[in-house]
Amino acid sequence: MVDAVDHDSCLVPVSRTDWHFRYFLVALVFFSNISLAGQLEAISITESGGQYEARIVALFDAPAEYVYGVITDYKHIYRINPSIVESELLSPQEDGVIRVRNRIEHCIAIFCIEVEMVEDVVEVGDGHIVATTVPELSSFESGTVMWHIRPFGEGRARVQYRASMKPGFFIPPVIGSLIIKSRLREEITISFSRIECHATIMAKKDIEDKTVSVARRSGENTGCAG
């Protein structure tokens, strides 16, 4: 099991702040703790030539079909990603392609930046999902996300996640790269925890619905943020 590598915060126009404040923010983020979903087998977040890549393998304590269901609920994807403030299904594309638009906001302290991400998503089958960024409609020059969700023993799932993206906006050298890598790590680990939580609740609800003839609304807090 490989523990978390990077730890970041939001994209921020650091040119507006002095260097002491920048390093303080990065240090604050690096030493904060994020709870992780299930069990992380591996995590790697890197940057080269302005392109960022993330690779993660994790075990979820939830059935694979429910994990898949949460990830493919594109209209409500904001429930699992803390930076998505708006999500929308656009007009259907050809060959079963699903076009999804997300408005993303990154903030640190009082500084925020808002970006658009439009992706064409294909559910390939056998637990594979591929999402490709549409550059002309996005704030990114390019991007690809690949998921592979498959059963792992009874009631568990093994998830492989690989993503690459190249922002189409200015990022300050060195410090900007550190902040983005850290922010990516934070977002992904939080998202994985939320996916696991929602999938677990969905599975439990289906079991209860099969055994209870009359259902009533419960005030119990699910514990899933979003």
- Mean pLDDT is lowest, of 86-95, 138-147, 206-215, for 206-215
Split at pLDDT 50, 70, 90, the class of 5 is: very low
pLDDT in tens, 191-221: 999 999 999 999 998 876 655 444 343 334 4
Distance from C-alpha of 38 to C-alpha of 41, rounded to nearest angstrom: 10
Percent of the chain with pLDDT strictly greater than 90: 47
What mean pLDDT do residues 35-44 have? Answer: 73
Split at pLDDT 50, 70, 90, the class of 186 is: confident
Q: Give the per-residue pLDDT at 208.
A: 64
Q: Give the per-residue pLDDT at 19.
A: 36
- Mean pLDDT is lowest, of 114-123, 174-183, 189-198, 206-215, for 206-215
Q: Give the per-residue pLDDT at 212.
A: 41
Edge-to-edge, what's the strand order for the sheet holding 128-133? 39-48, 51-60, 157-167, 140-151, 128-133, 111-125, 98-108, 84-89
What mean pLDDT do residues 161-189 have? Answer: 82
What mean pLDDT do residues 23-46 have? Answer: 57
What mean pLDDT do residues 32-49 have? Answer: 72
Type of residue found at 159: V
Burial 190-206 (b: 16+ CB within 10 A, else e): bbbbbbbbbbbbbbeee
Distance from C-alpha of 82 to C-alpha of 66, rounded to nearest angstrom: 20
Q: Give the per-residue pLDDT at 66.
A: 96
Please compute Rg for the chain using Cα positions. 18
* Of residues 77 and 107, more confidently modeled: 77
Phi, psi at residue 161, to the nearest 5°? -130, 130
Split at pLDDT 50, 70, 90, the class of 225 is: low
Quick check: 56 and 147 in contact, CB under 8 A? no
